[in-house]
């Protein structure tokens, strides 16, 4: 979710001073430039993955936009200086222009609604210490999109870099239940967690089956990163061979 302020330097951000921001020169090259919905889809994906390149075909597939629409979105974003396009290979490779994006040093500030940051921090701290072979954590769903309300669950995806998946799932579920009874903030709100836990192998398998993990990793807010998560993304969001990634563990 972005708010756009049309000044000589446009700062696009979510709520709060430490949110993700984009610096855009004004005037824009095209009057209706921000009316293309595909632009926001592509921009969100690239911001969530600032050190990763995507082919236009993968951008199309992940964002579920048409080929012409995606190509047009990329071209408009390039005109604004928000993306870099490498045309040296067989296909165009697109990445965010990191000189135009401000990403908080603290990943929790990438969550648009600040009331969810404290419970997420509590979950991360416990998961890091208690979940066997804990490796990475992503918040996805309405909380990641900035569309959550008091009835919304906090959707959390946890990656482990080990084989004890059953115990990791049990531990993560226990943490979710215990934190669900805890009150946060000045008003003492409770928050429900919905937790998914995967190993590298199971995550890659789900990615090949195209059963939803692609959207989790494409649109989710990465709170805890790791090399293992990078390998999973190479398969799910990129074009790496799943067998090679699993064998590299």
Q: Where do the structural domains in the chain lie, given as residue ranges?
A: 21-102, 107-244
Looking at residue 106, what is its pLDDT?
83
Q: Do domains 21-102 and 107-244 have the same CATH topology?
A: no
The hierarchical CATH code for the domain 107-244 is: 3.30.460.10
Task: Tell which residue, 39, 48, 5, has the closest CA to residue 233.
Answer: 48
Looking at residue 90, what is its pLDDT?
83
> Is 0.85 surpassed by the pTM of this model?
no
- Asked whether the predicted pLDDT for residue 66 surpasses 70, the reply is yes
With the CA atoms of 144, 150, 153 and 157 taken in that order, what torsion angle do they form, in degrees rounded to the nearest 10? 30
Q: What is the mean pLDDT of the chain?
A: 85
Task: Tell which residue, 113, 118, 126, 97, has the closest CA to residue 195.
Answer: 126
- Asked whether the predicted pLDDT for residue 5 surpasses 50, the reply is no
Task: Tell which residue, 53, 223, 194, 244, has the closest CA to residue 135.
Answer: 223
CA 233 – CA 203 distance, rounded (Å): 9
- Mean pLDDT is highest, among 5-9, 65-69, 152-156, for 152-156
Looking at residue 34, what is its pLDDT?
61
CATH class as words, domain 21-102: mainly alpha
C-alpha pair distances (Å), 80 with each of 110, 152, 164, 165: 22, 35, 47, 45
């Amino acid at each position: 979710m972005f708010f756009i302020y049309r000044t000589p330097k446009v700062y696009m951000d979510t709520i709060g001073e430490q949110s993700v921001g984009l610096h855009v020169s004004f005037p824009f090259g095209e009057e209706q430039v921000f009316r293309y919905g595909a632009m926001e889809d592509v921009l969100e994906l690239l911001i969530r993955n600032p050190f990763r390149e995507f082919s236009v075909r993968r951008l199309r597939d992940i964002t579920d936009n048409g080929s012409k629409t995606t190509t047009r979105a990329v071209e408009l974003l390039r005109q604004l200086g928000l993306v870099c396009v490498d045309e040296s290979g067989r296909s165009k490779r697109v990445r965010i222009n990191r000189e135009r994006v401000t990403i908080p040093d603290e990943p929790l500030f990438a969550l648009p609604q600040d009331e969810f940051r404290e419970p997420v921090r509590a979950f991360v701290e416990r998961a890091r210490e208690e979940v066997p072979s804990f490796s990475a954590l992503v918040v996805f769903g309405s909380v990641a999109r900035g569309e959550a309300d008091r009835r919304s669950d906090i959707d959390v995806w946890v990656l482990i870099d080990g084989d004890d998946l059953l115990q990791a799932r049990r531990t993560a579920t226990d943490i979710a239940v215990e934190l669900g009874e805890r009150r946060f903030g000045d008003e003492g709100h409770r928050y429900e967690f919905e937790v998914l836990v995967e190993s590298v192998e199971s995550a890659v398998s789900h990615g090949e089956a195209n059963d939803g993990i692609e959207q989790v990793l494409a649109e989710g807010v990465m709170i805890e990163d790791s090399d293992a998560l990078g390998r999973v993304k190479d398969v799910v969001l990129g074009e790496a061979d799943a067998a090679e990634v699993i064998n590299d563990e």
